[in-house]
Amino acid sequence: MSRQRLDPETITRMAMAVVDEGGLEALSLSAVAQRLGVGPSALYSHVDGLEGLHQLVAMGAMRNMVTEVRQAAIGVAGPGALESMGNAYRRFALEHPGQFRSTVAHPGPAGEGLAAAHDELLEVFALVYAGAGLDRTESAVAARQARSAIHGFVSLEACSGSTPDHDDHYSDLIALFSRALNRRRVR
Amino acid sequence: MSRQRLDPETITRMAMAVVDEGGLEALSLSAVAQRLGVGPSALYSHVDGLEGLHQLVAMGAMRNMVTEVRQAAIGVAGPGALESMGNAYRRFALEHPGQFRSTVAHPGPAGEGLAAAHDELLEVFALVYAGAGLDRTESAVAARQARSAIHGFVSLEACSGSTPDHDDHYSDLIALFSRALNRRRVR
DNA sequence: ACCTGAACACCGTTCAAGT
DNA sequence: ACCTGAACACCGTTCAAGT
């Protein structure tokens, strides 16, 4: 026997591949272990069971999301930035439905790390508003509202079998939150 | 043996009780069968396996949601109606997190019925806008946007361990979509 | 027609045993 | 320290058998 070398990062990467290919419900210790050429029980040396694996996948998904949304906002001015970020948000959900769903799954006992990741994504939105002149608390409020709307639209679209004729509605919805960028007022 | 009498309605009701008490991940054929005092295999005469049970729970949850949101809008004028509906939406998600999550789970092969239930909920929102003078298509667009925002906020709050100090942010978010009721214009 | 009970494959988890 | 392999409890599903 060739004594496999494992670590949490490798396991998480493999788990996310499973989720990308078979959806969130395909995630299991057995499936991941099989891809690694190892017995299921071997994973317990690095991961806190199935629940721990779910948490790692959710954290990885949030990290990917933050990366893409942040990248979409680079070098784009105010209202355009929000639309670009919204498009990146939506694209991620449609291309990686399993990862997307993992970010909003059960709260879980070790959910404080996930909550921090969500706050980090919120911070990306807040930076756009802060750049437009809104103060810290105003930016936080506007960011939460814009993110909620974007998340809700994308979430319902991903669930509803993706009828991709809602492009205009999505743009209009984002435009609604771009106004706070011009007027310096949310309400 | 007393020969249990089963039907899909009873099974669904029991399944939703399981989800209400133990969360969506507690739903299993075994758990439901046990509460009914019957073997797990007995359920296959009335329900299309675990996946079918999930669908029935999701449909029942949507029915409950439509009922509560519709009831919240009765006898309330324009902007107040939207806020009342938003509060009912939020309350349902916080009181029945398992049911709420079931409505937005995996698309599934038999998801056309669920999609219809979602459209029915959307119709409740559209009626408010139609009552304010918007035409059919305008109402549909406004309803979808308002619902998206409400759903996103509530969904993220329910996931994030429910820090209940976001009441003002939620009210402001809803108020943002009430303006279409006064101005007859969404953008 | 509908439920039982045995049967099977599969999964998560634990643990003694090896290296 | 870390992986194996056996072991256990549990679950979804099928099916022959009873009523």
Over residues B119-168, the pLDDT tens digits come to 999 999 999 999 999 999 999 999 999 999 999 999 999 988 766 678 99
Residue A162: predicted pLDDT: 66
Element at B182 (helix H, strand E) = helix B167-183
Which residues make Cβ contacts (< 8 Å) with residue A73, sequence separation at least 6?
Answer: A81, A84, A85, A124, A127, A128
- Candidates A134, A139, A159, A171: best to mutate against B (most CBs of B within 10 A) is A159
Residue B17: predicted pLDDT: 98
Inter-chain CB proximity A156 and B148 less than 8 Å = yes
* Residue B39 beta carbon within 7 A of nucleic strand C: yes
- The distance between the two most distant Cα atoms of chain B, rounded to a whole number of Å, is 67
CATH T-level assignment (fold) for domain A61-186: Tetracycline Repressor; domain 2 (1.10.357)
Residue A187: predicted pLDDT: 41
With CA of A32 and C1' of each nucleotide, the nearest comes out as C11
**Rounded-to-integer distance, Cα A58 and Cα A102, Å:** 5
**Rounded-to-integer distance, Cα B56 and Cα B61, Å:** 9
Q: Which one has a higher pLDDT value, B110 or B29?
A: B29
Residue B2: predicted pLDDT: 42
- The distance between the two most distant Cα atoms of chain A, rounded to a whole number of Å, is 67
- Whether the CB-CB separation of A99 and A61 falls below 8 Å is answered with yes
* Residue A39 beta carbon within 7 A of nucleic strand D: yes
Phi, psi at residue B14, to the nearest 5°? -65, -40
Rounded CA–C1' distance between A26 and C11, in angstroms: 12
Which of A155, A172, A186 lies closest to B155 in CB terms? Answer: A155
Q: Copy the structure tokens of residue B164.
A: 């209940």
Which of B111, B144, B172 lies closest to A145 in CB terms? Answer: B172
Single pTM value for the model: 0.94
Average pLDDT of the residues of chain B: 92
Over residues B36-64, the pLDDT tens digits come to 999 999 999 999 999 999 999 999 999 99
Q: What is the residue type of B133?
A: G
